[in-house]
Amino acid sequence: MCGIIGVAGGSVKTVVEGLRRLEYRGYDSAGVAVVDGEGAMWRVRVADGTRSVEELALRLADGPAAPVTSVGHTRWATHGQPSEHNAHPHVDCTGRVAVVHNGIVENHTELAAELAAGGHTFVSDTDTEVVAHLVEAALAGGADLPGALAAALRRVRGSFAVAVVHAGEPDLLVAGRRSAPLLLGTGAGTSLVASDLSALLGEADQLFTLDDDQIAEVRPDGVRVTTLAGDPVVPAALSVDPAWDLEAAQKGGYDDFMSKEMSEQPRAIADTLLDRRGTDGRLVLDELRLTEDDLRAIDKVVVVACGSSYHAGMVAKYALERWARVPTEVDIASEHRYRDPVLDERTLVVGVSQSGETLDTLEALREARRSGARALVVSNVVHSQMAREADGVIYTRAGPEVGVASTKCHLAQVVALELLALSLAQWRGTLPTEVVTALVDELHLLPQKVADALGRAKEVEAVAEAVAGARDFFFLGRHVGYPVALEGALKLKEISYLRAEGYPAGELKHGPIALIEPGTVVVAVVTRGAVREKVLTNVAEVASRGATVVVVAEDGDTTAAARAHHVLWTPPVADPLLSPPVTVVPLQLFAYSLARRLGNDVDRPRNLAKTVTVE
């Protein structure tokens, strides 16, 4: 996820140090814009992956020793490839306004068209650049810098945090935000702004939060905050636990990255859904590269992936077949490569990979292309190896995931694949427009429902406590509840090291039910719809053999609760196909609670790597 640091009346070294502290968030390029006391502005940008900040530091080593006003940025690409010309800060046509930005400007395409028609020239592929030109236009109209930023933010849709400097204002930095974090700090003769507390720790005596749609004027002698309308606001002071060191700050006060990343799931989904509807209401997958005609021509989809990404792919199969009526296979990437699959130019092979670097998935995509099939990747890393090699790409916008156990990326993958399924349905005419619209509206409800499910962590913890000590777990589900069960079992295995089997509930009686005995914990995902009754029957079968039954059930499902010893309640989701991002949350929390009780390092489980680049 991108990071912002800005300083008024401070040293360039403070900005570079801030960028260093933001590196943990993951980034692909970095840059700074510096306005010196003479009113000269210069910009340095480096796109050298995780070496960028170090390279930037070298290039800035001979920078001014005197106090400057400066903004710096670590970029995690969303719009436009990681490259120097897409790295922040971005400037306006005059080169005197420099902008750094986190988040997404949802309506950048229409704003850019309008600004271009007004004579503005764009030089990057980013959504950020429109902000620089909007500020430029407002300044030309007579606004001062804070007023110009306010005018720009009134035009912008989406979630974002921005910081802006101007060559003509050597002592002023302005910043604003909507639904993306931005903090302010003041010290002796220096004021700062940053997207992340870690960049401010030890640099400021007092910290403040900036609220949505507020503008901060950051000057060496302090900060002033107003609304977008210019009315003054007293910013809320932020008190930080004095015991927090840099690592604690980077985890945002969470005990570990896994819990931080679970908490980021509503945002990951919301960002993945941002900007996907065109002005005519039709779905638009901007970065896709494949055309609607390409996708109308396919007669089969094969999803290839590993681990949690494979489980997301399994959910996609139900959605692709139901909505787009296209036959879909899902294959574990390491198996797919060696089974001589039948692929041709009418096959769409979809690789699902958080990292975009997993070797088995990469090779499966290469094999697909050699066979003449179209290769599409769903990846969280812009310009990853898979994204570069595939014919098409859809990006999940979950931000970097540090914890080895995938959480927010898995949810974002499910949502991105459901968007793909709905897009195919629209382009192939298998669903009426109003049904697609209604389903997309429902997708937009998921962030709130996921937040609701996350808010029940204490109840999940109590269930985990009740079954703590068990060694054998079965996770059962049917239909989309089956991949959710598999994901729940995988989470438990990888971070708690407990034996956990994910199984299709109906298959249990064909063998594994022999393993059920008193002490076995069976977690059943009770999905609304045609299979609900059947899962409940399977639950009765294991309960009668002595298992301790935990059900994941929608609020109010008293029948399911009556069959179980413990219930993990979830907020209802109208269409079962959209339920996995919600029903998987209690299972993540369940695995997390059990792993923590066992004293395990949930971020770095034994024997596992975050990205598997070997066969």
227 φ, ψ to 5°?
-80, 175
Q: Which of 195, 265, 406, 548 binds ligand M6R (CB under 6 A)?
A: 406
**Shortest Cβ distance from residue 360 to ligand M6R (Å)?**
8
Residue holding tokens 């395409």?
A: 109
- The pairing of strands 300-305 and 328-332 is parallel
Residue holding tokens 């008024």?
A: 8
Angle between helices 580-597 and 265-273 (to 10 degrees): 150
90 or 260: whose CB is closer to ligand M6R?
260
Q: Which residue is nearest to ligand M6R (CB)?
A: 307
Is position 309 an interface residue for ligand M6R (rule: CB under 6 A)?
yes
Instruction: Name the segment binding ligand M6R (CB under 6 A); options: 127-135, 200-208, 400-408, 521-529.
Output: 400-408
Instruction: Name the segment binding ligand M6R (CB under 6 A); options: 206-214, 270-278, 303-311, 367-375.
Output: 303-311
72 or 307: whose CB is closer to ligand M6R?
307
**Cα 467 to Cα 473: distance, rounded to the nearest angstrom:** 10
386 or 480: whose CB is closer to ligand M6R?
386
Is position 358 an interface residue for ligand M6R (rule: CB under 6 A)?
yes
Q: Which of 272, 361, 570, 579 binds ligand M6R (CB under 6 A)?
A: 361
Amino acid at 172: L
Q: Does the annotation mark 449 as catalytic?
A: no
**Shortest Cβ distance from residue 407 to ligand M6R (Å)?**
8
Task: Please provide the DSSP assignment of 76-93 as one string.
Answer: --SSS-SSGGGSSPEE-T
Which residues are bridge partners to 99 per DSSP? 90, 164
**Shortest Cβ distance from residue 492 to ligand M6R (Å)?**
11
Q: Which two tokens stand for residue 61?
A: 């080593």
Task: Give which of 86, 6, 19, 82 is closest to 56, Cα–Cα.
Answer: 19
361 or 570: whose CB is closer to ligand M6R?
361
- Cβ 571 vs Cβ 528: under 8 Å: no
Is position 265 an interface residue for ligand M6R (rule: CB under 6 A)?
no
If 0-12 CB within 10 Å is exposed, 13-18 middle and 19+ buried, where does residue 459 land? middle
- Cβ 25 vs Cβ 76: under 8 Å: yes
124 or 308: whose CB is closer to ligand M6R?
308
**Shortest Cβ distance from residue 316 to ligand M6R (Å)?**
14
Is position 191 an interface residue for ligand M6R (rule: CB under 6 A)?
no
333 or 436: whose CB is closer to ligand M6R?
333
Residue 291 makes CB contacts below 8 A (sequence gap 6+) with none
Is position 595 an interface residue for ligand M6R (rule: CB under 6 A)?
no
Helix (H, G, I), strand (E, B) or coil at 167: coil
**Cα 73 to Cα 23: distance, rounded to the nearest angstrom:** 10
Is position 396 an interface residue for ligand M6R (rule: CB under 6 A)?
no
Binding letters toward ligand M6R, positions 452-491, x by CB under 6 A: --------------------------------------x-
What count of Cα atoms within 13 Å lies in the side-chain half-sphere of residue 369? Answer: 15
The site for ligand M6R, by CB under 6 A, has a size of: 17
Catalytic residue (choose from 2, 251, 408, 409) = 2
The DSSP secondary-structure symbol of 356 reads S
Print the SS3 string covering 441-455: HHHCCHHHHHHHHHC
Q: Which of 149, 215, 218, 306 binds ligand M6R (CB under 6 A)?
A: 306
296 or 606: whose CB is closer to ligand M6R?
606
The DSSP secondary-structure symbol of 235 reads P
- Cβ 317 vs Cβ 330: under 8 Å: yes
Q: Which of 233, 238, 445, 612 binds ligand M6R (CB under 6 A)?
A: 612
Q: Which of 36, 106, 129, 494 binds ligand M6R (CB under 6 A)?
A: 494
**Shortest Cβ distance from residue 587 to ligand M6R (Å)?**
12
Catalytic residue (choose from 13, 93, 300, 610) = 610
397 or 532: whose CB is closer to ligand M6R?
397
- Cβ 316 vs Cβ 323: under 8 Å: no
Which residues are bridge partners to 160 per DSSP? 103, 179
Instruction: Name the segment binding ligand M6R (CB under 6 A); options: 35-43, 78-86, 129-137, 403-411.
Output: 403-411
**Cα 265 to Cα 398: distance, rounded to the nearest angstrom:** 8
Q: Which of 266, 307, 502, 586 binds ligand M6R (CB under 6 A)?
A: 307
Binding letters toward ligand M6R, positions 337-356, x by CB under 6 A: ----------------xxx-
Q: Which two tokens stand for residue 181?
A: 């974090």
- Cβ 341 vs Cβ 302: under 8 Å: yes
**Shortest Cβ distance from residue 449 to ligand M6R (Å)?**
22
Residue holding tokens 């009740």?
A: 466
Q: Which of 308, 347, 396, 579 binds ligand M6R (CB under 6 A)?
A: 308
Judged by CB under 6 A, the chain residues 530 through 559 that form the site for ligand M6R are none
**Cα 488 to Cα 501: distance, rounded to the nearest angstrom:** 9
Is position 588 an interface residue for ligand M6R (rule: CB under 6 A)?
no
112 or 312: whose CB is closer to ligand M6R?
312
277 or 369: whose CB is closer to ligand M6R?
369
Q: Does the annotation mark 610 as catalytic?
A: yes
Task: Give which of 571, 572, 512, 496 is closest to 547, Cα–Cα.
Answer: 512
Residue holding tokens 């995902």?
A: 525
Catalytic residues: 2, 610
Q: Which residues bind ligand M6R (CB under 6 A)?
A: 306-309, 353-355, 358, 361, 404-406, 490, 494, 608, 611-612
